[in-house]
Amino acid sequence: MSEGTIAAVVLAAGRGTRMKSERAKVLHPVCGAALGAYPVRAARAAGADPIWVVVGHDGEHVQEALAAEGVGFVRQEQQLGTGHALLCAEKDLRDFRGSLLLLCGDTPLLRPETLTALAERQRTEHAAVTVLTMRRADPAGYGRIVRNKDELLAIVEEKDASESERRITEVNTGIYVFEAPWVFEMLHHLDNANAQGEYYLTDVVRLAREQGAVVRALELADPDEALGVNNRAQLAEAAKVMQGRINYAHQLAGVTILDPASTYIEASVRIGVDTVIHPGVHLWGKTEIGPSCLIEPGTVIRDSRLAGHVHVKAYSVIEESEVGVNSVIGPMAHMRPGSILRGDNKIGNFVETKKVDIGLHSKASHLTYLGDAEIGADVNIGCGTITCNYDGVNKYKTIIEDEVFVGSDTQFVAPVRVGRNSLVGAGSTIVRDVPPDALAISRAEQKNVEGWRLRHPLKKKEK
């Protein structure tokens, strides 16, 4: 293999007891992706290939959650310590020669540039180990970095540290680059004679020094990058930093976000230039928003595609749907899965759609349910229209052809087809197909009974 080759191992076998969760820690989501996916992506962006993830607790679910990340999995049946965890990957990396990057699955904020700098340091210094360190005002819980000036002497775990060692504020981030296959040789020499009875990966530093190998440390400029998520408070903290990065990237790419602190955009979302996003908006999953859209407060959009110049008014919900150019949605509209708007449409307040294909320029402006329907172009759906698509057993389709005008308070009892350019009178219940160019009306004729109210006065309530 060529010089500069990087492989990565991500440790994710621990249970994460402090999360107080039924699920493994690395499965908890941060901005729409599993916690454990972030270090994997950072390693890949830094050029690591292959990447192996060490799984143990809840391993099957972890594998499932990371299946799309293009990594291999190594099982660590018993969690005997970080050194033992890396040793589990030995057989898979037997033929690998180069820099082995080691990350923990619970450190989502690491930047690829940091990993690249760490690998670069390893290379230029011909080091056997390069440790990423950081300064912490409160170093509690971390392994302490014991130095003699520039020389890294050892990493001492808190539980094994002397009083003076505990006062050291430079700590181990748990991220390293090792020379492979040398490191595996070292791992075979680890013992577990320490306070926790574990095989510590950190002891590789001591073994390297005993061999006279080169050991280096690189201090992280921004210690937030190495924030390890151990409990739900840190999960929220990490999500907040990550959300800030996502929003900032959109802002630099030409999206106006009025209040980034209250705007939740998942990592997978794409947004076009000149789109304006109001506070309290949530954009989730594989959502794509075109250029020059306006997304008003409180809107939630999941796994949907909006073309350009779409205006979504306040408190609308759009799921697994497509919205064509120049359309106006809401306020308070609900587009459920399978709704397609071809363009120039209006879906107004309290309109619910589901599995419906609506042609160009068609409108449903108020208080309507359109489900399992095909609606043509230039159709006007009056207020209070309902497709009665379900008889309790099966779903049926309503087809409304081009240029139909549907009066208010109409029910379509599906299956039913309304022919092109026909008109449905307000208050109708349509149970049979309507031919093109027709008027369909089905309400009972109105009867006025003169003087009826005079003969039936309201009784005064007795006290």
Site for Ca ion, rule CB under 5 A: 228
* CA dist., res. 292 & res. 282, Å (int): 18
Site string for ligand UD1, 228-247 (x = CB under 6 A): x-------------------
Tokens 């700098």, residue located = 117
- Give every CB contact of residue 41 below 8 A, 6+ residues apart in sequence: 69
Q: Which residue is nearest to ligand UD1 (CB)?
A: 143
Q: Is 412 among the residues that bind ligand UD1 (CB under 6 A)?
A: no
Q: Is 401 among the residues that bind ligand UD1 (CB under 6 A)?
A: no
Q: How far is the CB of 83 from Ca ion (least distance, A)?
A: 14
Closest to ligand UD1 by CB, 100 or 328: 100
- Give every CB contact of residue 449 below 8 A, 6+ residues apart in sequence: none
Residues 36-75 that bind ligand UD1 (CB under 6 A): 54
Q: How far is the CB of 230 from Ca ion (least distance, A)?
A: 6
Q: Is 13 among the residues that bind ligand UD1 (CB under 6 A)?
A: yes
Annotated catalytic, 250? no
Q: Is 84 among the residues that bind ligand UD1 (CB under 6 A)?
A: yes
Q: Is 157 among the residues that bind ligand UD1 (CB under 6 A)?
A: yes
Given ligand UD1, Ca ion, none, residue 79, with its beta carbon under 5 to 8 Å by kind, binds ligand UD1
Q: How far is the CB of 3 from ligand UD1 (least distance, A)?
A: 28
Contacting ligand UD1 (CB under 6 A), which of 27, 65, 89, 171?
Answer: 171
Closest to ligand UD1 by CB, 131 or 306: 131
* CA dist., res. 336 & res. 258, Å (int): 27
- Give every CB contact of residue 395 below 8 A, 6+ residues apart in sequence: 371, 372, 389, 414
Closest to ligand UD1 by CB, 96 or 142: 142
Among 7-15, 122-130, 328-336, 432-440, the segment contacting ligand UD1 (CB under 6 A):
7-15
Given ligand UD1, Ca ion, none, residue 143, with its beta carbon under 5 to 8 Å by kind, binds ligand UD1
Please identify which of the residues 84, 188, 366, 456 carries the catalytic annotation.
Answer: 366
Closest to ligand UD1 by CB, 85 or 271: 85
Q: Is 349 among the residues that bind ligand UD1 (CB under 6 A)?
A: no
Q: How far is the CB of 95 from ligand UD1 (least distance, A)?
A: 23
Phi, psi of 439 (to 5 degrees): -105, 130
User: CA dihedral in degrees (445, 449, 453, 454; nearest 10)?
Assistant: 170
Closest to ligand UD1 by CB, 109 or 171: 171
SS (H, E, C) the chain: CCCCCEEEEEEECCCCHHHCCCCCHHHCEECCEECCHHHHHHHHHCCCCCEEEEEECEHHHHHHHHHHHCCEEEECCCCCCHHHHHHCCCHHHCCCCEEEEEEECCCCCCCHHHHHHHHHHHHHCCCCEEEEEEECCCCCCCCEEEEECCEEEEEECHHHCCHHHHCCCEEEEEEEEEEECHHHHHHCCCCCCCCCCCCCCCHHHHHHHHHCCCEEEEECCCHHHHCCCCCHHHHHHHHHHHHHHHHHHHHHCCCEECCHHHCEECCCCEECCCCEECCCCEEECCCEECCCCEECCCCEEECCEECCCCEECCCCEEECCEECCCCEECCCCEECCCEEECCCCEEEEEEEEEEEEECCCCEEEEEEEEEEEEECCCCEECCCCEEECECCCCECCEEECCCCEECCCCEEECCEEECCCCEECCCCEECCCECCCCEECCCCCCCCCCCHHHHCCCCCCCC
Q: Is 110 among the residues that bind ligand UD1 (CB under 6 A)?
A: no
Contacting ligand UD1 (CB under 6 A), which of 85, 132, 177, 190?
Answer: 85
Contacting ligand UD1 (CB under 6 A), which of 6, 7, 8, 12?
Answer: 12
Among 82-90, 233-241, 286-294, 327-335, the segment contacting ligand UD1 (CB under 6 A):
82-90
Q: Is 130 among the residues that bind ligand UD1 (CB under 6 A)?
A: no
Q: Which residue is nearest to Ca ion (CB)?
A: 228
Q: Is 202 among the residues that bind ligand UD1 (CB under 6 A)?
A: yes
Closest to ligand UD1 by CB, 202 or 387: 202
Closest to Ca ion by CB, 228 or 415: 228
Q: Is 106 among the residues that bind ligand UD1 (CB under 6 A)?
A: yes
Given Ca ion, ligand UD1, none, residue 202, with its beta carbon under 5 to 8 Å by kind, binds ligand UD1
* CA dist., res. 77 & res. 98, Å (int): 27
Given ligand UD1, Ca ion, none, residue 13, with its beta carbon under 5 to 8 Å by kind, binds ligand UD1
Contact positions vs ligand UD1 (CB under 6 A): 11-14, 54, 76, 79-82, 84-85, 104-106, 142-143, 155, 157, 171-174, 200-202, 228
Catalytic residue numbers, as ranges: 366
